Amino acid sequence: MKRWRTDGADRRVATALAFLVGAVALGWPNAGRAESQAFAARFSQEKLARVGDYIRNEVATGKIPGAVILIQQHGRPAYFENFGVRDLESKRPMTADTIFQLYSMSKPITSVAAMMLVEDGKLSLGDPVSKYIPAFADLKVGVEKRGDSGKPQLALEPVDRPITVEDLLRHTSGLTYGFYGDSTVRKLYANSGLFDGDFDNAQFVERIAKLPLAEQPGTLWDYGHSTDVLGRVIEVVSGRSLFAFEKQRLLDPLGMADTAFYVADAAKRVLIAEPMPDDRFLSPVAGIRDPILPRRWESGGAGMVGTIGDYARFAQMLLNGGILDGKRYLKPETVALMTSDHIGPETGIARDDSYFPGSDSGFGLGFAVRTVQPAGTPLPTGEYRWDGVAGTFLFVDPKDDMFVVFMAQTPSQRGRIQTALKSLIYEALDK
Protein backbone atom coordinates (compact mmCIF):
# COMPACT_ATOMS: atom_id res chain seq x y z
CA MET A 1 0.00 0.00 0.00
CA LYS A 2 1.37 3.41 -0.93
CA ARG A 3 0.39 6.75 0.47
CA TRP A 4 -1.18 9.35 -1.82
CA ARG A 5 0.83 12.55 -2.12
CA THR A 6 -1.94 15.11 -1.90
CA ASP A 7 -2.74 18.32 -0.07
CA GLY A 8 -5.62 19.68 1.97
CA ALA A 9 -8.97 17.94 1.77
CA ASP A 10 -7.79 15.49 -0.89
CA ARG A 11 -5.00 14.29 1.35
CA ARG A 12 -7.36 13.86 4.31
CA VAL A 13 -9.71 11.71 2.21
CA ALA A 14 -6.81 9.69 0.82
CA THR A 15 -5.40 9.14 4.30
CA ALA A 16 -8.76 7.91 5.60
CA LEU A 17 -9.00 5.45 2.72
CA ALA A 18 -5.47 4.26 3.41
CA PHE A 19 -6.41 3.49 7.01
CA LEU A 20 -9.40 1.46 5.89
CA VAL A 21 -7.47 -0.46 3.23
CA GLY A 22 -4.75 -1.27 5.75
CA ALA A 23 -7.25 -2.33 8.38
CA VAL A 24 -9.03 -4.68 5.97
CA ALA A 25 -5.69 -6.14 4.83
CA LEU A 26 -4.69 -6.80 8.43
CA GLY A 27 -7.99 -8.40 9.35
CA TRP A 28 -9.48 -6.13 12.01
CA PRO A 29 -13.11 -6.74 12.86
CA ASN A 30 -15.44 -4.00 11.56
CA ALA A 31 -12.49 -2.51 9.66
CA GLY A 32 -14.75 -1.43 6.83
CA ARG A 33 -16.65 1.03 9.05
CA ALA A 34 -15.68 4.69 9.13
CA GLU A 35 -13.81 4.93 12.44
CA SER A 36 -11.91 8.17 11.95
CA GLN A 37 -13.62 9.87 14.88
CA ALA A 38 -12.43 7.09 17.23
CA PHE A 39 -8.82 8.12 16.96
CA ALA A 40 -9.08 11.74 15.77
CA ALA A 41 -9.88 12.81 19.33
CA ARG A 42 -6.56 11.53 20.58
CA PHE A 43 -4.07 12.02 17.74
CA SER A 44 -3.07 15.05 15.72
CA GLN A 45 -3.13 13.87 12.12
CA GLU A 46 -0.66 16.56 11.16
CA LYS A 47 1.81 15.34 13.77
CA LEU A 48 1.17 11.68 12.95
CA ALA A 49 2.26 12.45 9.39
CA ARG A 50 5.73 13.17 10.81
CA VAL A 51 6.01 9.49 11.73
CA GLY A 52 5.68 8.58 8.07
CA ASP A 53 7.97 11.38 6.98
CA TYR A 54 10.66 10.09 9.34
CA ILE A 55 10.49 6.49 8.09
CA ARG A 56 10.26 7.63 4.48
CA ASN A 57 13.48 9.57 4.97
CA GLU A 58 15.18 6.50 6.44
CA VAL A 59 14.34 4.63 3.24
CA ALA A 60 15.25 7.51 0.91
CA THR A 61 18.66 7.98 2.53
CA GLY A 62 19.51 4.29 2.20
CA LYS A 63 19.49 3.39 5.89
CA ILE A 64 16.77 0.72 5.59
CA PRO A 65 15.12 -1.02 2.60
CA GLY A 66 11.62 -0.63 4.00
CA ALA A 67 9.36 -0.91 7.02
CA VAL A 68 5.77 -1.27 8.21
CA ILE A 69 4.28 0.53 11.20
CA LEU A 70 0.95 0.25 12.95
CA ILE A 71 -0.28 2.59 15.68
CA GLN A 72 -3.50 1.20 17.10
CA GLN A 73 -5.74 2.95 19.63
CA HIS A 74 -9.17 2.02 20.99
CA GLY A 75 -9.05 -1.19 18.94
CA ARG A 76 -8.66 0.52 15.57
CA PRO A 77 -5.66 1.56 13.48
CA ALA A 78 -4.83 5.21 14.07
CA TYR A 79 -1.93 5.03 11.64
CA PHE A 80 -0.82 2.28 9.30
CA GLU A 81 1.64 2.55 6.44
CA ASN A 82 4.15 0.54 4.43
CA PHE A 83 7.40 2.06 3.24
CA GLY A 84 10.02 1.09 0.68
CA VAL A 85 10.71 -2.47 -0.38
CA ARG A 86 11.10 -5.88 1.22
CA ASP A 87 14.61 -6.21 -0.14
CA LEU A 88 16.80 -4.19 -2.45
CA GLU A 89 17.58 -7.07 -4.80
CA SER A 90 14.02 -7.92 -5.83
CA LYS A 91 12.59 -4.42 -5.20
CA ARG A 92 9.29 -6.03 -4.21
CA PRO A 93 7.25 -3.39 -2.37
CA MET A 94 6.75 -3.62 1.36
CA THR A 95 3.23 -4.87 2.09
CA ALA A 96 1.13 -5.81 5.13
CA ASP A 97 1.78 -9.52 4.57
CA THR A 98 5.58 -9.18 4.57
CA ILE A 99 7.25 -11.75 6.84
CA PHE A 100 9.95 -10.65 9.30
CA GLN A 101 12.37 -12.49 11.54
CA LEU A 102 11.15 -11.62 15.03
CA TYR A 103 14.16 -12.78 17.03
CA SER A 104 13.49 -11.73 20.66
CA MET A 105 9.93 -10.68 19.92
CA SER A 106 9.43 -14.46 20.10
CA LYS A 107 9.92 -14.20 23.87
CA PRO A 108 6.57 -12.57 24.73
CA ILE A 109 4.74 -15.26 22.73
CA THR A 110 6.54 -18.07 24.58
CA SER A 111 5.95 -16.30 27.90
CA VAL A 112 2.21 -16.04 27.25
CA ALA A 113 2.12 -19.74 26.32
CA ALA A 114 3.79 -20.60 29.63
CA MET A 115 1.33 -18.49 31.60
CA MET A 116 -1.55 -20.30 29.90
CA LEU A 117 -0.21 -23.49 31.48
CA VAL A 118 0.08 -21.69 34.82
CA GLU A 119 -3.59 -20.78 34.54
CA ASP A 120 -4.35 -24.41 33.64
CA GLY A 121 -2.81 -25.44 36.97
CA LYS A 122 -0.17 -27.54 35.20
CA LEU A 123 2.76 -25.23 35.93
CA SER A 124 3.72 -23.01 38.84
CA LEU A 125 6.04 -20.00 38.88
CA GLY A 126 7.78 -21.41 41.94
CA ASP A 127 8.44 -24.82 40.39
CA PRO A 128 12.10 -25.74 40.06
CA VAL A 129 13.03 -26.21 36.41
CA SER A 130 14.64 -29.53 37.36
CA LYS A 131 11.12 -30.87 38.00
CA TYR A 132 10.66 -30.85 34.23
CA ILE A 133 14.27 -31.03 33.03
CA PRO A 134 16.24 -33.39 35.32
CA ALA A 135 19.57 -32.26 33.84
CA PHE A 136 19.05 -28.95 35.68
CA ALA A 137 19.26 -30.67 39.07
CA ASP A 138 23.05 -30.42 39.33
CA LEU A 139 23.96 -27.03 37.85
CA LYS A 140 27.10 -25.12 38.73
CA VAL A 141 27.87 -21.42 38.72
CA GLY A 142 30.99 -20.19 36.94
CA VAL A 143 33.01 -17.74 39.04
CA GLU A 144 36.03 -15.93 37.65
CA LYS A 145 39.05 -15.91 39.93
CA ARG A 146 42.55 -14.63 39.34
CA GLY A 147 45.20 -17.30 39.06
CA ASP A 148 48.88 -16.95 39.90
CA SER A 149 49.48 -15.51 36.45
CA GLY A 150 46.87 -12.80 37.03
CA LYS A 151 44.65 -14.14 34.27
CA PRO A 152 41.00 -14.95 35.06
CA GLN A 153 40.32 -18.60 35.70
CA LEU A 154 36.93 -20.23 35.96
CA ALA A 155 35.95 -21.92 39.21
CA LEU A 156 32.70 -23.86 39.61
CA GLU A 157 30.46 -23.44 42.64
CA PRO A 158 27.14 -25.08 43.53
CA VAL A 159 23.92 -23.11 43.14
CA ASP A 160 22.46 -21.56 46.27
CA ARG A 161 18.95 -22.46 45.14
CA PRO A 162 17.35 -24.10 42.09
CA ILE A 163 16.32 -22.15 39.01
CA THR A 164 12.54 -21.63 39.02
CA VAL A 165 10.03 -21.10 36.22
CA GLU A 166 9.75 -17.48 37.37
CA ASP A 167 13.51 -17.09 36.91
CA LEU A 168 13.13 -18.20 33.28
CA LEU A 169 10.35 -15.68 32.69
CA ARG A 170 12.17 -12.71 34.24
CA HIS A 171 15.75 -13.53 33.09
CA THR A 172 17.16 -14.20 36.56
CA SER A 173 18.10 -17.84 35.93
CA GLY A 174 21.84 -17.28 35.48
CA LEU A 175 21.58 -18.52 31.89
CA THR A 176 23.19 -16.09 29.48
CA TYR A 177 23.97 -15.60 25.78
CA GLY A 178 27.31 -16.14 24.09
CA PHE A 179 27.01 -13.57 21.31
CA TYR A 180 27.76 -10.49 23.40
CA GLY A 181 30.15 -9.76 26.25
CA ASP A 182 33.54 -11.32 26.91
CA SER A 183 33.23 -12.99 30.30
CA THR A 184 34.67 -16.47 30.66
CA VAL A 185 31.21 -18.04 30.92
CA ARG A 186 29.94 -16.20 27.84
CA LYS A 187 32.96 -17.39 25.91
CA LEU A 188 32.07 -20.94 26.92
CA TYR A 189 28.55 -20.43 25.59
CA ALA A 190 29.95 -19.11 22.31
CA ASN A 191 32.41 -21.96 21.83
CA SER A 192 30.63 -24.99 23.26
CA GLY A 193 28.83 -26.22 20.14
CA LEU A 194 25.40 -25.36 21.54
CA PHE A 195 24.00 -25.00 18.03
CA ASP A 196 25.79 -27.83 16.22
CA GLY A 197 23.72 -30.05 13.94
CA ASP A 198 19.96 -30.41 13.65
CA PHE A 199 19.01 -30.61 17.32
CA ASP A 200 15.64 -30.24 19.03
CA ASN A 201 14.60 -28.44 22.21
CA ALA A 202 15.23 -31.49 24.37
CA GLN A 203 18.79 -31.82 23.09
CA PHE A 204 19.39 -28.09 23.48
CA VAL A 205 18.53 -28.05 27.18
CA GLU A 206 20.71 -31.11 27.79
CA ARG A 207 23.60 -29.24 26.17
CA ILE A 208 23.10 -25.98 28.03
CA ALA A 209 22.71 -27.77 31.37
CA LYS A 210 26.34 -28.89 31.02
CA LEU A 211 27.54 -25.29 30.94
CA PRO A 212 28.01 -23.20 34.10
CA LEU A 213 25.58 -20.45 34.98
CA ALA A 214 26.89 -16.91 34.74
CA GLU A 215 25.66 -16.08 38.27
CA GLN A 216 23.54 -17.46 41.08
CA PRO A 217 19.83 -17.82 40.25
CA GLY A 218 17.68 -14.94 41.43
CA THR A 219 20.53 -12.46 41.86
CA LEU A 220 20.95 -10.66 38.52
CA TRP A 221 18.93 -9.80 35.41
CA ASP A 222 21.00 -11.46 32.69
CA TYR A 223 19.67 -11.65 29.15
CA GLY A 224 20.11 -15.10 27.72
CA HIS A 225 18.63 -18.48 26.83
CA SER A 226 16.07 -18.51 29.67
CA THR A 227 13.10 -18.35 27.29
CA ASP A 228 14.54 -21.16 25.17
CA VAL A 229 14.60 -23.35 28.27
CA LEU A 230 11.08 -22.18 29.09
CA GLY A 231 10.03 -23.45 25.67
CA ARG A 232 11.24 -26.91 26.60
CA VAL A 233 9.38 -26.75 29.92
CA ILE A 234 6.21 -26.02 27.92
CA GLU A 235 6.88 -29.11 25.81
CA VAL A 236 7.34 -31.38 28.82
CA VAL A 237 4.24 -30.08 30.60
CA SER A 238 1.99 -30.08 27.53
CA GLY A 239 3.30 -33.27 25.95
CA ARG A 240 3.60 -31.51 22.59
CA SER A 241 6.25 -29.63 20.69
CA LEU A 242 6.45 -25.93 21.49
CA PHE A 243 5.04 -24.97 18.11
CA ALA A 244 2.24 -27.54 18.29
CA PHE A 245 1.16 -26.23 21.70
CA GLU A 246 1.38 -22.57 20.67
CA LYS A 247 -0.40 -23.26 17.40
CA GLN A 248 -3.32 -25.00 19.08
CA ARG A 249 -3.75 -22.72 22.09
CA LEU A 250 -2.60 -19.33 20.87
CA LEU A 251 -1.55 -18.84 17.24
CA ASP A 252 -4.42 -20.47 15.38
CA PRO A 253 -7.19 -19.13 17.66
CA LEU A 254 -5.72 -15.61 17.38
CA GLY A 255 -5.45 -15.89 13.60
CA MET A 256 -1.64 -15.64 13.61
CA ALA A 257 -1.37 -17.78 10.48
CA ASP A 258 2.11 -16.68 9.42
CA THR A 259 3.80 -16.90 12.82
CA ALA A 260 6.05 -19.95 12.97
CA PHE A 261 9.65 -21.04 13.52
CA TYR A 262 10.54 -20.83 9.83
CA VAL A 263 8.77 -20.10 6.55
CA ALA A 264 7.70 -23.60 5.52
CA ASP A 265 5.57 -22.60 2.51
CA ALA A 266 7.92 -22.06 -0.45
CA ALA A 267 5.32 -19.80 -2.09
CA LYS A 268 5.58 -17.37 0.82
CA ARG A 269 9.35 -16.99 0.72
CA VAL A 270 9.02 -14.02 -1.62
CA LEU A 271 7.34 -12.24 1.30
CA ILE A 272 10.43 -12.33 3.53
CA ALA A 273 11.98 -8.96 4.37
CA GLU A 274 15.75 -8.58 4.12
CA PRO A 275 18.11 -5.98 5.64
CA MET A 276 20.49 -3.76 3.71
CA PRO A 277 23.33 -5.81 2.16
CA ASP A 278 25.87 -4.26 4.56
CA ASP A 279 23.60 -4.60 7.60
CA ARG A 280 23.57 -8.35 8.10
CA PHE A 281 24.70 -10.48 11.00
CA LEU A 282 28.07 -12.06 10.28
CA SER A 283 27.25 -15.03 12.47
CA PRO A 284 23.99 -16.47 13.83
CA VAL A 285 22.44 -14.57 16.74
CA ALA A 286 21.33 -16.97 19.47
CA GLY A 287 21.79 -19.76 16.95
CA ILE A 288 19.23 -18.34 14.50
CA ARG A 289 20.05 -17.19 10.99
CA ASP A 290 18.03 -18.42 8.01
CA PRO A 291 14.22 -17.92 8.14
CA ILE A 292 13.59 -20.59 5.48
CA LEU A 293 15.83 -23.29 6.92
CA PRO A 294 13.76 -26.20 8.30
CA ARG A 295 15.04 -27.07 11.75
CA ARG A 296 13.95 -29.20 14.66
CA TRP A 297 14.98 -26.58 17.21
CA GLU A 298 12.05 -24.32 18.05
CA SER A 299 13.75 -21.44 19.81
CA GLY A 300 11.18 -19.85 22.09
CA GLY A 301 13.61 -17.01 22.71
CA ALA A 302 14.58 -15.99 19.19
CA GLY A 303 13.33 -18.36 16.51
CA MET A 304 10.00 -17.05 15.26
CA VAL A 305 8.96 -15.30 12.06
CA GLY A 306 5.74 -13.38 11.55
CA THR A 307 3.83 -10.46 10.08
CA ILE A 308 2.70 -7.15 11.51
CA GLY A 309 -0.93 -8.27 11.30
CA ASP A 310 -0.23 -11.40 13.34
CA TYR A 311 1.64 -9.52 16.03
CA ALA A 312 -1.02 -6.82 16.14
CA ARG A 313 -3.65 -9.37 17.11
CA PHE A 314 -1.37 -10.70 19.83
CA ALA A 315 -0.78 -7.15 21.10
CA GLN A 316 -4.48 -6.25 21.07
CA MET A 317 -5.26 -9.38 23.05
CA LEU A 318 -2.79 -8.26 25.73
CA LEU A 319 -4.09 -4.69 25.73
CA ASN A 320 -7.63 -6.06 26.16
CA GLY A 321 -6.55 -7.91 29.29
CA GLY A 322 -6.22 -11.33 27.66
CA ILE A 323 -9.29 -11.40 25.41
CA LEU A 324 -9.84 -10.87 21.67
CA ASP A 325 -12.97 -11.34 19.55
CA GLY A 326 -14.82 -12.78 22.52
CA LYS A 327 -12.24 -15.52 23.24
CA ARG A 328 -10.21 -15.39 26.43
CA TYR A 329 -6.55 -16.44 26.35
CA LEU A 330 -5.41 -15.15 29.74
CA LYS A 331 -7.13 -13.72 32.78
CA PRO A 332 -6.77 -9.95 33.31
CA GLU A 333 -4.90 -10.57 36.54
CA THR A 334 -2.41 -12.78 34.68
CA VAL A 335 -1.72 -10.06 32.12
CA ALA A 336 -1.33 -7.59 34.98
CA LEU A 337 1.13 -9.94 36.69
CA MET A 338 3.18 -10.36 33.53
CA THR A 339 3.32 -6.61 32.92
CA SER A 340 4.33 -5.52 36.43
CA ASP A 341 7.90 -5.20 37.66
CA HIS A 342 9.36 -8.40 39.17
CA ILE A 343 12.93 -7.20 39.70
CA GLY A 344 12.39 -3.98 41.66
CA PRO A 345 14.67 -2.80 44.50
CA GLU A 346 12.70 -4.79 47.05
CA THR A 347 13.72 -8.05 45.33
CA GLY A 348 17.46 -7.45 45.71
CA ILE A 349 17.97 -8.43 42.07
CA ALA A 350 20.84 -6.52 40.45
CA ARG A 351 21.05 -5.27 36.87
CA ASP A 352 24.05 -6.08 34.73
CA ASP A 353 26.03 -3.67 32.55
CA SER A 354 23.91 -4.68 29.54
CA TYR A 355 20.55 -4.05 31.18
CA PHE A 356 18.57 -3.59 27.98
CA PRO A 357 15.27 -2.32 29.49
CA GLY A 358 17.06 0.87 30.60
CA SER A 359 17.22 2.79 33.86
CA ASP A 360 13.54 3.85 33.73
CA SER A 361 12.21 0.30 33.48
CA GLY A 362 11.93 -2.92 35.39
CA PHE A 363 11.09 -6.30 33.96
CA GLY A 364 8.01 -8.46 34.30
CA LEU A 365 7.31 -11.97 33.05
CA GLY A 366 8.41 -11.58 29.43
CA PHE A 367 8.26 -7.79 29.07
CA ALA A 368 10.18 -4.68 30.04
CA VAL A 369 7.91 -2.43 32.13
CA ARG A 370 8.42 1.33 32.52
CA THR A 371 8.36 2.20 36.21
CA VAL A 372 9.67 5.80 36.05
CA GLN A 373 8.67 8.53 33.63
CA PRO A 374 11.87 9.97 32.15
CA ALA A 375 12.23 13.67 32.91
CA GLY A 376 11.03 15.94 30.14
CA THR A 377 9.33 13.17 28.16
CA PRO A 378 5.71 12.07 27.73
CA LEU A 379 6.65 8.37 28.02
CA PRO A 380 4.18 6.87 30.51
CA THR A 381 4.75 4.52 33.40
CA GLY A 382 3.01 1.20 32.96
CA GLU A 383 4.04 0.87 29.32
CA TYR A 384 5.36 -2.62 28.55
CA ARG A 385 7.40 -3.65 25.56
CA TRP A 386 10.05 -5.75 23.88
CA ASP A 387 11.92 -5.79 20.59
CA GLY A 388 13.99 -7.98 18.30
CA VAL A 389 17.65 -7.67 17.43
CA ALA A 390 16.88 -7.39 13.70
CA GLY A 391 14.79 -4.24 14.11
CA THR A 392 11.21 -5.10 15.10
CA PHE A 393 9.58 -3.68 18.22
CA LEU A 394 6.35 -3.60 20.20
CA PHE A 395 5.15 -1.34 22.96
CA VAL A 396 1.78 -1.41 24.71
CA ASP A 397 0.47 1.66 26.54
CA PRO A 398 -2.59 0.77 28.66
CA LYS A 399 -3.10 4.35 29.90
CA ASP A 400 -3.66 5.61 26.35
CA ASP A 401 -5.35 2.37 25.22
CA MET A 402 -2.73 2.06 22.50
CA PHE A 403 -0.06 -0.21 21.10
CA VAL A 404 2.54 0.20 18.38
CA VAL A 405 4.15 -2.50 16.24
CA PHE A 406 7.05 -1.60 13.98
CA MET A 407 8.57 -4.11 11.58
CA ALA A 408 11.87 -3.67 9.77
CA GLN A 409 15.05 -5.67 9.30
CA THR A 410 17.83 -3.32 10.34
CA PRO A 411 20.14 -4.64 13.06
CA SER A 412 22.42 -1.61 13.14
CA GLN A 413 19.76 1.12 13.11
CA ARG A 414 17.11 -0.38 15.36
CA GLY A 415 17.82 1.46 18.62
CA ARG A 416 18.07 4.88 17.02
CA ILE A 417 14.90 4.37 14.97
CA GLN A 418 12.89 3.04 17.90
CA THR A 419 13.79 6.02 20.09
CA ALA A 420 12.95 8.54 17.38
CA LEU A 421 9.63 6.93 16.46
CA LYS A 422 8.48 6.67 20.04
CA SER A 423 9.12 10.39 20.55
CA LEU A 424 7.23 11.29 17.37
CA ILE A 425 4.27 9.10 18.30
CA TYR A 426 3.87 10.62 21.75
CA GLU A 427 4.29 14.12 20.38
CA ALA A 428 1.32 13.37 18.10
CA LEU A 429 -0.99 12.52 21.01
CA ASP A 430 -3.41 15.37 21.80
CA LYS A 431 -3.52 15.39 25.59
The pLDDT of residue 206 is 98
How much is the pLDDT for 63?
Answer: 97
Residue 320: inside a domain, yes or no?
no
| pLDDT of 428 | 95
Number of domains in the chain: 1
* Rounded CA separation 319/322 (Å): 7
Q: What's the CATH number where 229 sits?
A: 3.40.710.10
Residue 33 pLDDT: 32
Q: How many residues does the chain have?
A: 431
Degrees (nearest 5) of the Cα angle 390, 395, 401? 155
**403 in a structural domain:** no
For residue 164, what are the domain limits? 112-238
In a domain, 185, yes or no: yes
Three-state DSSP class for residue 74: coil
Residue 363 maps to a domain:
no
Rounded distance between C-alpha atoms, residue 321 and residue 338, angstroms: 11
- The pLDDT of residue 423 is 95
Q: Sign of dihedral through CA atoms 84, 306, 368, 336?
A: positive
Average confidence (pLDDT) per 10 residues, the chain, 431 residues: 37 43 49 38 87 98 98 96 97 98 98 98 98 97 83 90 98 94 89 94 98 97 97 98 98 98 97 96 84 95 98 98 98 98 97 90 98 91 97 97 98 96 94 66
- φ and ψ of 384, to 5 deg: -125, 155
Residue 366 lies in a domain: no
Residue 382 is assigned to a structural domain of this protein: no
Residue 419: per-residue pLDDT? 95
Q: Is residue 415 part of a domain?
A: no
Q: Is residue 206 part of a domain?
A: yes
